Amino acid sequence: MKAKGMYYIYKGDQAYSQDNMAKTLDYYKEGLRLYPEHYEAWFNLGNIYAVYEDYFSAVDAYEHAIKYNPKFVMARMNLGIVYSEDLGFFDEAIEQFDTVTQIRLFKLWIPFVYSNVKSVKANRGLAYYNKGVAYKQKAMYLPLDKRYLVFKYLGEAIEAYEKSLKFLKKNYDAYYNKAVAHHLRGEYREAGLAYCSAIKLEPMKFEAHYNLAVLLRQLNRHRDSISELHKAAILILEEPDSSTLESTYIFNLLNDATRKFITSDEYYTQKLSDEPLGNIGYTYVNGKIVPDEEFDKAILKNFKTCAGFEYFNEEEEEIY
């Protein structure tokens, strides 16, 4: 029975590699009927169900994979993601992510041959990150009579993101989501610094620029807000999936911020102290005049520069 089950699972693996999901399901189901202990087949089956949005079947498959291998990190991770992002079972998701962080897998290091040390650490970092996302979603979907718990759950999310960053030190998503959680809690200095960290890592992603601009606008830092809105506007126009509504909203916000800025004292101070931007280099390529490499570098440096960083980094001043 076991050998025959292995044969059907092997055929399922072949169909899976060829992206033939109908045959994969048939082979896996028959193989697992004969050899139910094959946890990797249960895992693949769960992935297929998740892709086709049959989430309860995916949960059942992942739970079978975990039943036969309790230390199967990726099965627990995927189960937690389905619980959190697709079914809204946040407590169950958090339980899975907590378990992943507590699993102590054997670390193997053979010089110049093989090492799983990085992958083990990365999985722990991802588990903490996903735990943070689950807490954030739990906070956002609280019923009205439980809204007083929002601050607490966002704090749990921040703690999870901070633990994630100990393992994933250059993770844009962890910094960005940490910033959002601080922002929602009204912790503006922490939010600003985390947005700046995200921008430094991924300067060409518009979300952090946009949210930072909104934060700076809240704090009446109109000049800095305009700087970040300009970047967000440029970047969202380059996004293939961006909507007209998103673009319109950003430009309306930019217009409003500009209007407030030009009526402020800060505007006149800036006009008196403005200096020429200097020469921009151009070159001639295939019949077209285009900015040269130095200009490209300057643009990248500009997008990496976080407007308002010095303001958020002033420890003496209270920011509300």
Q: Which amino acid is at 119?
A: S
- Residue pLDDT, tens place only, 203-219: 998 899 999 999 998 99
Q: Check the CA dihedral 3-7-9-10 and report its sign.
A: positive
Mean pLDDT, residues 141-165 taken together: 96
How many C-beta atoms surround the C-beta of residue 263 within 10 A? 11
Structure-token pair, residue 84? 């959190």
Determine the Cα–Cα distance for residues 205 and 211; give it in Å rounded to an integer: 11
- Dig out the tokens for 208 from the structure: 């952090």
Cβ count near 234 (within 10 Å): 15
* DSSP label at residue 204: T
Using the predicted structure, report yes or no on whether residue 288 has a pLDDT greater than 70: no
Mean pLDDT along residues 24-46: 94
Note the pLDDT of residue 200. 94
Mean pLDDT of 256-276: 50
Checking if the pLDDT of 273 tops 80, the result is: no
Query: Is the predicted pLDDT of residue 267 greater than 50, yes or no?
Result: no
Tell me what pLDDT residue 282 has. 47
The answer to whether the CB of 12 falls within 8 A of the CB of 24 is: yes
Q: Report d(CA 38, CA 32) in Å as an integer.
A: 7
pTM for the full predicted model: 0.80
Distances (CA, A) of 134 to 82, 94, 99, 126: 11, 7, 14, 12
What pLDDT was estimated at residue 2?
A: 85
**The pLDDT of residue 298 is above 80:** no
Nearest to 150, CA basis, from 161, 159, 158, 141 = 141
Side-chain-side CA neighbours of 119 within 13 Å: the count stands at 10
Q: Please name every residue paired with 285 in a beta bridge, in sequence order, or none if there are none.
A: 288
